Amino acid sequence: MPTDVVLFPFAEYWWVYGLFLLVVLAMLALDLGVFHRTAHVVSFREAATWSVVWVALALAVGGAIWKYAEWRFPQVPRLTSLPGFVPEAAAWQTFLEYLTGYVVEKSLSVDNVFIFVVVFGFFAIPAELQHRVLFWGILGALVFRAIFIALGAALMQFHWVIWIFGGFLVLTGLKILIAPDKPIDPAKNPVIRLVKRLVPVTHELKGPSFFVREAGRIAATPLFLALVFIEVTDVIFAIDSVPAIFAITDEPLIVFTSNICAILGLRAMFFMLAGAVGKFHLLKYGLGSVLIFVGLKMAWLNDAFGGKFPVTWSLGIITVLIGGAIAASLFFPKRERPPAQPA
């Protein structure tokens, strides 16, 4: 199949984006307005159930795109007139690229879980209010991801940008592998400092409110500061994850849907893994290796394989890297330092 053909141009498939967003907004409204209408502690069982729901939704979206492409591609003259174009094979390739992009984003999202644990601990956010912060945090992330993907789609038309993105991913992966872990201190974040300068901040939480009125003026609560920090860190993570999916596919529709579907399940993932994040101490090596691989794929391997590195190989390599890091973390648990003995 030709590699420089856009299968889903926005001008023809804008309604698919719209339909997908309607489904996403409906699911979010159902989540917040029905199942989490009142603040409560999210149990492991509830988080596991929602995780299954979000994964099932992601697979349903990918399957719908696959079957629609299988039906639609044979009816598009600009595609069927291309030498070597097989509609069924192109539709299946589309699904595999969607699935691979979803796995990449889902894997990279694990880093967000570590951040959430630190932020909620630092700002002393009680368990029953954490879902509220994450809900609005994920909603903001969807907006920022859409902007990043639109910019990425425009920039990826220039081949030199592909080399830059690929090199950036490789360097980021190497940094993850080599650089020592540093503790995160939200108090030193420049954005948090800026917010405190611009808006008065209360010393204590005021229930589920992000803002309250004190002494006749509007003041932010620590709940809002936690939300801001989560949004800022997601923007930073998006700089890695969005180019990583563009290394898998150059179809903006596939990048957008796979990325958003992975982000939607992030809250449930957090409530499932929050108490066990310390067990995956070797996961960073898997994530760093994935970034190096997709960076090499973008900057070199695609060209070396005639324009497109086999997506089945990509899916297999990424699964082995992440699965191997998780398995190694469980088989070789981190040794806890014994408490210091009093002199």
Place 343 in a pLDDT band, splitting at 50, 70 and 90: very low
How confident is the model at residue 255, as a pLDDT? 95
Q: What is the pTM of this model?
A: 0.88
Give me the helix-helix angle, 283-296 and 87-108, nearest 10°. Answer: 140
Start-to-end CA distance of the chain, whole Å, equals 72
The percent of residues in the chain predicted with pLDDT above 90, rounded, is 41
Contacts of 137 by beta carbon, 8 Å cutoff, 6+ apart: 227, 230, 231, 234
Per-residue model confidence as pLDDT tens digits over 30-51: 877 666 667 778 888 888 898 9
Angle at 265 between CA 123 and CA 208, to 5 degrees: 35
Query: Which of 336, 216, 241 shows the shortest CA–CA distance to 281?
Result: 336
CB 168 within 8 A of CB 295: yes
Query: Which of 148, 234, 147 shows the shortest CA–CA distance to 191?
Result: 234
Count the neighbouring beta carbons within 10 Å of the beta carbon of residue 62.
22
CA 143, chain centre distance (Å): 12
Per-residue model confidence as pLDDT tens digits over 165-204: 999 999 999 998 998 777 777 878 888 888 888 888 898 8
Strand partners, 211: 220
Q: How far is the C-alpha of 117 from the C-alpha of 89, rounded, in Å?
A: 43
Q: Percent helix, strand and coil across the chain, each rounded to 5? A: 75, 5, 25
Q: Please determine, for residue 338, whether its predicted confidence score (pLDDT) is greater than 60.
A: no
Per-residue model confidence as pLDDT tens digits over 277-290: 778 888 889 989 99
CA 253, chain centre distance (Å): 15
